[in-house]
Amino acid sequence: MIVEEAQGVVVVGAGPAGIAAALAAAESGVSVVLLDGGARPGGQFYRQPLVGPPDTRTVRAGMRTVRAGARLERAVREHPRIDHRPRTSVWALEPGPEGTHLVHTQQGPADAARPVRTIGAAALILCPGAYDRVLPFPGWELPGVCSAGAAQALAKGQGIAVGGRVVVSGTGPFLLPVMASLLDVGAECLGVYEAGTPARWLRHPVAALRDGLSKLPELAAYAARLAVHRVPYRTRRAVVAAHGRDRVEAVTVARLDPDWNIRPGSERRIDGVDAVCVGYGFTPQLELAAAAGCALQGPYVAVDAAQATSVPDVYAAGEITGIGGAEPAAAEGEVAGLAAAGRTIRPGAAARVRSGRRFAEALADAHRVRPGWRTWLTDDTLVCRCEEVTYGDLRSAVRDRAADGMRTLKLTSRVGLGPCQGRVCGRNAAELAGLDASGADRRPIAQPIRLGDLAEPP
């Protein structure tokens, strides 16, 4: 194990929040180590092609975002006080001497030898982001069914479409940029099915009219793409089943009532489908925050006006404090970077954070996952694909084995014990079993690590 001396500020994650935090701290005169699992900074929003410059033929709709991401990448790369370490996973945190925080990392390709390196951080800023939430339904384990984020990452990073004839289903505004990314790389989008009711935004007039005003040009651009490519956009509808033998070949789309129960007789089969992109919001990556001992507020890390957590010298920004998009995340990152560097927070940044939090709360309410999705499942529907645990297995664990907590549920059904360690299925399994879902996000090891790497001599 290689142990480095304590650094000034260590930032985990190089998405919009992490980049803003690193730049704000570095421009305040503090040395920064920026750790990120990606090959290039930017996260999902500013994702750059893995090799070479962006191809304008495949990123027409998102060219402004691509150029902004390239500018931020240059700013990070050229700043003399930022030590950017790509392809680096942070697999654990623990308290260090004299109030520091020990950050345990590995760097390099996952299939290569990766020495364990420990960095001492005087201040730590957590910006790990979030991952897609995918709800199970009959057939979702078929090849060709993927998360919306995975489809966008392939399109943005490699110019690859997940299929030629694609259906997008879920809830939230993220479905629209996914649709645009698919069109950019030549896919035919057969429909975007929004399970919720976007009109619920009207229940939050301040967030809709003031905090969300900057989103209107972007929304208009997506509406134009839908019209030009004749992509159906339907609300209160969702893919409730996928069909096929060796891979997905068709889907069933149904109308939903306000609680997302299927309206009888509304089911419609769409044939000739070779890919389904599913996204029901996001699950914040809380492993590192939980390992550091940060207090939570619901499913998010609790922070104050300076983005400080309950743990001294640990700050959090971006989607682990609330899902609001790239602009609020960047504002939170700027505030966290200034606070970690001991600088005064700029009024403009603080105002953008407040606006972003109102926007995130309205977003969460407008696109809340409703309980009726559970009625889409049958007893043989897989809930945990890693361990092939069905809905029937879960019900049996609760009914016959008295599984009354996440730990007991895992031990009696094996749900969440596979390679993803419950990142995909944990929250869904908890809701299906009627359990508190907060325990599904707590893992002492944040990223997979081989025992052989841990056993390497220092």
pLDDT in tens, 127-139: 999 989 999 999 9
Residues facing 233 on adjacent strands: 192
Question: At residue 6, does pLDDT exceed 50?
Answer: yes
Question: At residue 122, does pLDDT exceed 90?
Answer: yes
Average pLDDT, the chain: 89
Cβ neighbour number for residue 388 with a 10 Å cutoff: 12
What amino acid occupies position 277? C
Question: Given CA atoms 356, 357, 358, 359 in this order, what sign does their dihedral have?
Answer: positive
Q: Which residue has the higher pLDDT, 29 or 158?
A: 29
Amino acid 207: pLDDT: 66
Determine the CATH number of domain 377-440. Answer: 1.10.10
The CATH number of domain 2-131+283-345 is 3.30.1330.10:
no
In 313-427, beta strands by DSSP E: 314-316, 382-384, 389-390
Q: Which residue has the higher pLDDT, 289 or 45?
A: 289
Q: Which residue has the higher pLDDT, 43 or 444?
A: 43
Write the pLDDT tens digit of every residue in 145-176.
Answer: 999 999 999 998 888 999 999 999 999 999 99
Over the Cα atoms of the chain, what is R_g? 22
Which backbone phi and psi does 280 adopt, to 5 degrees? Answer: -115, 55
In 248-353, beta strands by DSSP E: 250-255, 268-271, 275-280, 282-284, 296-297, 300-301, 314-316
Amino acid 59: pLDDT: 45
Consecutive H or E run containing 182: helix 175-184
Amino acid 142: pLDDT: 97
Residue 73, SS3 per DSSP? helix
Task: Give dist(CA 283, CA 130) in Å, integer.
Answer: 5
Question: At residue 203, does pLDDT exceed 80?
Answer: no
Per the CB < 8 A criterion, the answer to whether 125 and 337 are in contact is yes
Q: Mean pLDDT over residues 333-340, rounded?
A: 97
Distance of alpha carbon 86 from the chain centroid: 19
CATH architecture of 134-280: 3-Layer(bba) Sandwich (3.50)
Per the CB < 8 A criterion, the answer to whether 363 and 323 are in contact is yes
436's CB contacts (< 8 A; 6+ apart) are 405, 406, 430
Question: At residue 313, does pLDDT exceed 90?
Answer: yes
What whole-number percentage of the chain has pLDDT above 90?
65
Helix count (H) and strand count (E) of the chain? 13, 21
344's CB contacts (< 8 A; 6+ apart) are 338
311's CB contacts (< 8 A; 6+ apart) are 292, 293, 294
Task: Give dist(CA 336, CA 25) in Å, integer.
Answer: 8
Cβ neighbour number for residue 235 with a 10 Å cutoff: 16
Q: Mean pLDDT over residues 258-284, rounded?
A: 96
Residue 165, SS3 per DSSP? strand
Q: Which two tokens stand for residue 415?
A: 């749900």
Closest CA to 74 of 93, 95, 46, 102: 46
Residues facing 275 on adjacent strands: 166
- The total number of residues shown for the chain amounts to 458
Question: At residue 233, does pLDDT exceed 50?
Answer: yes
Task: Give dist(CA 13, CA 125) in Å, integer.
Answer: 9
193's CB contacts (< 8 A; 6+ apart) are 167, 168, 169, 170, 234, 237, 238, 239, 253
Q: Which among 84-98, 301-315, 358-372 has the top mean pLDDT?
A: 301-315
Q: Mean pLDDT over residues 100-118, rounded?
A: 87
Amino acid 62: pLDDT: 58
Task: Give dist(CA 164, CA 170) in Å, integer.
Answer: 19
Cβ neighbour number for residue 74 with a 10 Å cutoff: 11
Sheet with 268-271, strands from edge to edge, namely: 237-243, 250-255, 268-271
- Return the biggest CA–CA distance within the chain: 66
The yes-or-no answer to whether 2-131+283-345 and 134-280 have a common fold is yes
Task: Give dist(CA 455, CA 151) in Å, integer.
Answer: 37
Q: Mean pLDDT over residues 306-330, rounded?
A: 94
Residue 92, SS3 per DSSP? strand
Amino acid 51: pLDDT: 55
Write the pLDDT tens digit of every residue in 383-434.
Answer: 999 999 999 999 999 999 988 888 899 999 999 998 888 888 999 999 999 9
Domain ranges of the chain: 2-131+283-345, 134-280, 377-440
Q: What does the buried/exposed string (b/e) look like for 84-95 if buried means 16 or more CB atoms within 10 Å of the residue's CB?
A: beebbbbbbbee
Question: At residue 57, does pLDDT exceed 70?
Answer: no
Amino acid 61: pLDDT: 43
Q: Mean pLDDT over residues 52-77, rounded?
A: 69
pTM for the full predicted model: 0.91
Q: Kindly give the interhelix angle for 406-413 and 391-400, rounded to the nearest 10 degrees.
A: 110
